[in-house]
Amino acid sequence: MLENPKWEAFRRDVLSAKGATCEECGSTYGLQVHHPYYRRGCDPWQYKTSEVRVLCREHHMTAEKLEDSALLAFWAAYCRHGFKFLQNSIVSNITTARE
Ligand SMILES: [Zn+2]
């Protein structure tokens, strides 16, 4: 997928729109485009530049780990409280992440 020309063009647009530095530490090395969430049926380049983040390799990995643990916490709460928990939660971001 990384060689997909559409993805390459999107990545270039994001870096020029948001600045080619890590949003966490300002690093200009090893920059990657991070999706905080995914939408069903959307290709990775079909997002607004404001929806994605520019992160260095290290902060990209940290961000993915944090989101994985948020997802685990969500499912743990869902198992304990069932459907009631779902009704009381804003879950749109979490449920569309990682499929
Ligand atoms: Zn960084």
Q: How many domains does the chain have?
A: 1
What pLDDT does residue 17 have?
96
Let me know: does 78 contact 43? Beta carbons within 8 Å: no
For the cut 50, the answer to whether the pLDDT of residue 99 exceeds it is no
Ligand 1 centroid, distance to 60 Cα (angstroms): 7
Is the whole model's pTM more than 0.95, yes or no? no
Tell me which residue of 48, 63, 59 sits closest to 18, measured CA to CA: 48
For the cut 60, the answer to whether the pLDDT of residue 10 exceeds it is yes
For the cut 60, the answer to whether the pLDDT of residue 91 exceeds it is no
Ligand 1 centroid, distance to 32 Cα (angstroms): 10
Ligand 1 centroid, distance to 91 Cα (angstroms): 27
Question: Rounded to a whole number, what is the distance in angstroms from the first to the last CA of the chain?
Answer: 16
Amino acid at residue number 75: W
What's the CA gap between 37 and 81, in Å, rounded?
24
Residue 20 belongs to domain spanning: 5-96
Ligand 1 centroid, distance to 29 Cα (angstroms): 9
Looking at per-residue pLDDT, the higher value among 44 and 92 belongs to 44
Ligand 1 centroid, distance to 30 Cα (angstroms): 9
Ligand 1 centroid, distance to 90 Cα (angstroms): 28
What's the CA gap between 84 and 65, in Å, rounded?
27
pLDDT digits over 12-71, tens only? 999 999 999 999 999 999 999 999 888 889 899 999 999 999 999 999 999 999 888 888
Ligand 1 centroid, distance to 50 Cα (angstroms): 18
